[in-house]
A and B are shown apart, each in its own frame.
Chain A
Amino acid sequence: MNKIGFCSGILSIIISFLQSIPLGIYFDSGISSYASISLSLFSNNNIDFFIWGTIDQSKLVVQSWLEANLISFFMLNLFMIITGIITIVGSTMERMSGKAIMSLNSLLILIVIIYISIFIPLNSIELIRIAIDFMGLFTSLGNGYYVLIINLILALIAIRSHPLETE
């Protein structure tokens, strides 16, 4: 089993669905947490952008990419979910097909990073309905973006370390 690939897949799933990672979890009539690490990609005008959608902090309105923008839904949300699922499956396949899946995983994560870093600032009004340039984007990057970079590094290591069954 490719453990680093598996970790990369889990990270993709976490970033695809969660708003934040809870820290200091306690059990008081349910599960709560004292603190959390936000997984926002970047923020602008009190709006936090995630892989799965946006949160308007001023109005407290949550919107998924499926409602907000279909292209962003395909490029961010769907790509990351597919990446997570195929990577977890591929990490258990000790064959060349497994290694190919690991390569596909890193390619998809790279596409997502390029989409956020280049395509969103170039066509921000059409894609996220807010004007944001390169400077605005790179000065407001959140933890989610750095988690994506870490995920890409893990995915690249996973290609090299993928075990192959010897007969």
Chain B
Amino acid sequence: MKLRKTGFAAGFLSIILAFIAGVPFSFSNETANSILNFSILIINNVEYFSWGYISNDIGYTSLGFSSIENFIAISIWLLFFLTGLFGIMASSPKSNPKHSKKLYKFNILFILLTLFIYTLDYIFVIFNSLSTAFFGFGYYLLYIILVLNIISIKILKKS
């Protein structure tokens, strides 16, 4: 059994969303500040990520065990992290196809839940205030991860 590339790619992208804020995508001297930002939502110039938000170039996070409220932040972050971990674990060459299928299904469930949360957030912001809200690149990356997980399940079924 070979490494399942689509599942691995989905897991890797989820891990990137869980930990990384942005990556430079142009190394040319002429195009300065070419950074691919993984923000999921942008509301009033505040960029929201899976781990927290950036306002005026300062990052804030609520992840931790210091208070009960933090568990909501941890739960949302775990949706991203576990999707990554499950995707990579399920794609390893020696993994049991039955277990892998279950993990991919969990991943799809987690991503749909995340998309639902952020879409609802966006709708509330748009309809209830005068704030400007946009989806960031991270939001569209979630759709890519979802599609990659669906493809992984289909490949598993075929094999």
Chain A interfacial positions (CB closer than 8 Å to B): 1, 3, 7, 22-27, 33-38, 141-143, 146
Contact = CB atoms under 8 A, between A and B. Distances in A.
Given A22-B19, A24-B51, A37 B61 contact: yes
A38 B61 CA distance: 11
A138 to B, nearest CB: 13
Contacts, number: 57
Given A1-B94, A34-B52, A35-B52, A25 B63 contact: no
Contacts of B59: 23-24, 33-35
For chain B, the bracket of interface size reads: 20 to 34
Interface of B: 19-24, 35, 49, 51-52, 54, 58-61, 63-66, 85, 89, 92, 94
A24 B39 CA distance: 10
Nearest to A6: B89
A24 B54 contact: yes
Contact of B64 (A7, A27, A143): A143
A131 B140 CA distance: 52
Nearest to B23: A27
